[in-house]
Amino acid sequence: MAQSFKPKEIIVVDDGSSDATSEVAKMYDEVSLLRQKNMGVSSARNNGSMMAESQWLCFLDSDDTWEREKLAKQVAFHKRNRDILISYTDERWIRDGYHVKLPKKFAKSHENLYERSLSHCIIAPSSVMIEKKLFDSVGGFDESLEVCEDYDLWLRLMKEHTIGLVNEPLINKYGGHKDQLSFKYWGMDRFRIRSLEALHVRYKDDEKLLHVMIEKYKLLLKGAQKHERFDDAFHYEQRLGELNFLTKIF
């Protein structure tokens, strides 16, 4: 509501909040409210997008904020680049009330975006603007992934579409609190590898993808051995053998 470019609609999805989210949302006539019972972040975004009637979608996670010009600058970008149907922006990180410098690996750049994104998620959901038809065509966020659902979606999109960049810090990401999903789940590469495996089914000749999968399985194997999760270790070791065989074919 504070944006210089006013959104055509605002949809708040209350995914089983224990605070007064729904009560506050009801105070505003311009806000549409969807309440659901702890179905997860992917479901919340997908269901909110299904309610949307606008041509373009933006997401705003509960622990992020937008700068006042965020929408205006992305709208201007897409008017200049009508063939690009998704864009993202740079971001600021705030941890425990203090601004922190982004690690170099999260730097925003057009250069080798797909290759860098295979290792970790570079694009923040709150920074994205995407055409609704495109979002719908790829099936939205994968609701089977508790975390890394954004990592998964951006990779699927990158394989077929150009993702534009508005290279300004137009969102603020707040961290350090205990209810962050990244704190809740250990071993994030367990979820990333599920996404990479699904991608590998479609793009078997992608050597960069294959090599990142091997590196992630090595890390998972090391962790499983350290914590004596022998069934997991056996699976990771077996899969590593299969993937290493494929590298010899290339």
Query: Model confidence over 57-100: pLDDT tens digits?
Result: 999 999 999 999 999 999 999 999 999 999 999 999 999 889 99
Residue 197 lies inside a defined structural domain of this protein:
no
Same structural domain, 59 and 154: yes
Same structural domain, 88 and 174: yes
Same structural domain, 217 and 130: no
Q: For position 248, what pLDDT does the model report?
A: 78
User: For residue 104, what is the DSSP state?
Assistant: G
- Which letter, b or e, does each residue of 95-126 get, where b requires 16 or more Cβ atoms within 10 Å of its Cβ? eeeeeeeeeeebebeeeebbeebbeebbbbbb
Same structural domain, 220 and 122: no
Residue 36 lies inside a defined structural domain of this protein:
no
For the chain, what's the residue count?
250
Q: For position 110, what pLDDT does the model report?
A: 86
Q: For position 187, what pLDDT does the model report?
A: 79
The pTM of the full predicted model, rounded to 2 decimals, is 0.92
Confidence label for 175 from pLDDT (cuts 50, 70 and 90)? confident
Q: For position 16, what pLDDT does the model report?
A: 94
CATH of the domain at 99: 3.90.550.10
Residue 14 lies inside a defined structural domain of this protein:
no
Specify the amino acid at residue 2: A
Structural domain containing residue 221: 204-249
Q: For position 184, what pLDDT does the model report?
A: 52
Q: Report which secondary-structure segment, H or E, holds 103.
A: none
Q: For position 183, what pLDDT does the model report?
A: 45
Stretch 130-156: mean pLDDT, rounded? 97
Same structural domain, 177 and 89: yes
**Contact between 91 and 150 (Cβ < 8 Å):** no
Same structural domain, 167 and 124: yes
Residue 179 lies inside a defined structural domain of this protein:
yes
More confident residue, 223 or 177: 223
Residue 78 lies inside a defined structural domain of this protein:
yes
Q: Is the pLDDT of residue 208 over 70?
A: yes
Count the domains in the chain. Answer: 2
pLDDT digits (tens, 9 = 90+) for 223-239: 999 999 999 999 999 99
Same structural domain, 160 and 237: no
Please state, as a whole number, how many other Cβ atoms lie within 10 Å of the Cβ of residue 42. Answer: 20
Q: Is the pLDDT of residue 182 over 70?
A: no
10 by DSSP, 3-state: which? strand
| Lowest-pLDDT range of 123-127, 174-178, 181-185 | 181-185
Residue 18 lies inside a defined structural domain of this protein:
no
Same structural domain, 147 and 232: no
Residue 221 lies inside a defined structural domain of this protein:
yes
